[in-house]
Amino acid sequence: MSEALNIVKDTTLTYDQTLLALAKLGENTDDSIVYSDAYYAAKKAGALCDLNEGRLPYRPRYICPDYDLLFEKGCDFLGLTPPKDLLEAINTLEIFYNHVPSVTCYPVYLGDLDHLLEPFVIKEDREYAKKILRLFLLHIDKVLTDSFVHADIGPKDSLTARILLELTEEMQLAIPNITLKYDPELTSDDFALACIRCMLKTAKPSFANHRMFMKEWGEDYAIASCYNGLKKAGGGFTLPRLKLYECSLAAESIDDFLKNKLPEFIDLQLEYMDKRVRFCVEESNFFKSNFLATEGFVKQENFTGMFGIVGLAECVNHLLHIEDKKKGFGLNPEATELGLKIMDVIDKRVAEHVAPYCDAFDHRYRLHAQVGIDSDGMEDSPGTRIPIFAEPTILEQLEVNEKFHPYFPTGTGDIFKFEETYEKTPEAILPIIKGSLSRGLRYFSGYLENCDVVRVTGYLVKKSEIEKLNQKKQSLNNVTVFGKGAQDGAHALDRRVVRYDD
């Protein structure tokens, strides 16, 4: 009971945050799923991490409903009919969002908002439409209080997208996260520049490689949560992660790691994923009775498991006995080449594994470069990123990123903090984005160094809200505590500033 008492006594938690923490505590009392002794040993050693998913998977981790279907036929369970105007469309979404779960208990995907709302927005006076959309964004920020809540726009320009960008700059909200599906053949330079200007001031939208995601997922894909590529009307069953640095500590040599220890840890994580997926489908009630499934807003066959990794840089540096990070992964060819060899082993072994229930993906899981959590410290850099305090120039970083991003259909990305000069010259950033995406970069994020809204590892927080926690005050955004932890332990906000003369 001491854990429960600590939760209810924590003055930095809001009521909803207290409720969610108590619910997670209760969920973790169940031991219905039993794993092998080897799995528990690897988890205790820190090589495997379940990312606090909870012991009882009573819903998939990430859910991406078919909002087009909602607007087409309404929802019987919620008594919603197809919307006929902008007010009805907004009201329908706000009601529906409140019933879309995830690992955070909030929806991680709000839909392609410009695509959904444009038919209604263009029928209204622009200022009236902007007023309605302002209230919509305010509702999201104050009710869906979690920065893993994510919306998409693009690739084409639209009135709705322009208004959303204007409001994002004006309102300076951390919620929702936003991604632009970017394709230089479909996205005009003028629209892309508007997105860059907004990104610099608010850390959103990020730029997703639309062509790459289309090739891997088809036309109906979503970017959800931090930067997770998933299938619409589907999602992600589960997302655990290998902590590669901790995995490397068990190896006697590079050869031992590649041939023995790494495959063993991969198989243990696959064991975990298989058992959770089977329980979610076969035992829990979600796909049997939840209206999202019974009315076709999601389909079980459109879900896959997300095989996460973190700390590639530290893993490589340890195996090569490199102590100075500025001479390690991403900064010398030998270290980068070893990183690619490690990824090849992971990619091949995961691709060979036959996964349960992932029908739309030939019964295969897909890789994910996980962004880290607040307790990681400096030992595990997010995904395949170059460690903080060791970053070279932006072009040198991108050259490394481009080699690793293609491995991760379910998401990876890097973040760049720009000096203030770029606020007046956003056109200097567009060629960088265009070039890097054409060479294999999957996802690009950035913000100005003096922003209040900042991107931590993949999610957004406000520096002013972190300061509230420092003063033992409450923050409405559930992930502000993660941002504070990531900054305190891993200096997540201290990235190298991109200078104009780099």
| Pair (223, 242) in one structural domain | no
Q: List own/partner pairs for 39-46 with CB under 8 A and 24 or more apart.
A: 39/268, 39/271, 39/272, 42/265, 42/268, 45/246, 45/249, 45/250, 46/243, 46/246
| Pair (104, 200) in one structural domain | yes
Report the Cα 419 to chain-centroid distance in Å: 25
Task: Examine residue 461 and state whether it is found in any structural domain, yes or no.
Answer: no
Q: Rounded CA gap, 206 and 225, in Å?
A: 12
Give burial (CB, 10 Å; 0-12/13-18/19+) of 333.
Answer: exposed
| Pair (25, 42) in one structural domain | no
Q: What counts of helices (H) and strands (E) characterise the chain?
A: 21, 17
62 bridge partner residues: 236
Boundary-marking domain end, from 186, 208, 227:
227
Q: Rounded CA gap, 96 and 494, in Å?
A: 38
224 bridge partner residues: 228
Q: Rounded CA gap, 172 and 15, in Å?
A: 24
| Pair (147, 128) in one structural domain | yes
The Cα-based distances of 132 to 92, 97, 124, 138, 350 in angstroms read 13, 17, 10, 10, 46
Instruction: Please spell the DSSP secondary structure of 17-58, one letter per residue.
Output: HHHHHHHHHHHTT---S---HHHHHHHHTTSEE-TT--S--S
Task: Examine residue 178 and state whether it is found in any structural domain, yes or no.
Answer: yes
| Pair (66, 114) in one structural domain | yes
- At 204, the amino acid letter reads K
| Pair (202, 79) in one structural domain | yes
Is residue 395 within 8 A of residue 502, CB to CB? The reply is yes
3-state SS of 213-275 is HHHHHCCCEEEECCCEEEECCEEECCCCEEEHHHHHCCCCCHHHHHHHHHHHHHHHHHHHHHH
Q: Rounded CA gap, 53 and 310, in Å?
A: 16
| Pair (295, 371) in one structural domain | yes
Task: Examine residue 147 and state whether it is found in any structural domain, yes or no.
Answer: yes
Collapse the DSSP code of 80 into the 3-class scheme (helix H, G, I; strand E, B; otherwise coil) and give the result: strand
What's the domain range around 320?
36-58+235-412
Question: How many structural domains are present in the chain?
Answer: 3
Kindly state the DSSP code that residue 378 receives in the 8-state scheme.
Answer: T
| Pair (258, 290) in one structural domain | yes
All residues at 6 or more sequence positions from 45 whose CB lies less than 8 Å from its CB, including other chains? 246, 249, 250
Task: Examine residue 188 and state whether it is found in any structural domain, yes or no.
Answer: yes
Task: Examine residue 422 and state whether it is found in any structural domain, yes or no.
Answer: no
Task: Give the residue among 358, 362, 350, 148 at the shortest CA–CA distance from 237.
Answer: 358
Task: Examine residue 247 and state whether it is found in any structural domain, yes or no.
Answer: yes
Task: Give the residue among 307, 305, 322 at the shortest CA–CA distance from 245.
Answer: 322
Q: Where are the alpha helices (DSSP H) in 323-441?
A: 333-352, 394-404, 430-438
pLDDT of residue 481: 84
pTM here is 0.95
| Pair (259, 396) in one structural domain | yes
Q: Rounded CA gap, 475 and 458, in Å?
A: 19
| Pair (207, 129) in one structural domain | yes
For β-strands 62-64 and 234-236, DSSP reports them as antiparallel
Is residue 174 within 8 A of residue 465, CB to CB? The reply is yes
Task: Examine residue 350 and state whether it is found in any structural domain, yes or no.
Answer: yes
The full length of the chain comes to: 502
Q: Report the chain's terminal Cα–Cα distance, integer Å.
A: 55
Task: Examine residue 282 and state whether it is found in any structural domain, yes or no.
Answer: yes
Boundary-marking domain end, from 193, 227, 261:
227
| Pair (250, 145) in one structural domain | no
3-state SS of 296-330 is CCCCHHHEECEEEEECHHHHHHHHCCCCCHHHCCC
Report the Cα 358 to chain-centroid distance in Å: 20
Boundary-marking domain end, from 227, 250, 278:
227
Q: What is the mean pLDDT of each run of 10 residues along the chain (502 residues)?
A: 89 90 91 95 96 93 98 98 98 98 95 98 98 98 94 98 98 96 98 98 97 96 97 98 98 98 98 98 97 98 98 98 96 97 98 97 97 80 95 96 98 95 95 97 96 88 89 85 82 88 78
Q: Where are the alpha helices (DSSP H) in 82-158?
A: 86-97, 113-121, 126-143
The Cα-based distances of 72 to 83, 220, 304, 451 in angstroms read 8, 16, 26, 39
Q: Rounded CA gap, 358 and 301, in Å?
A: 6
pLDDT of residue 475: 86
| Pair (88, 211) in one structural domain | yes
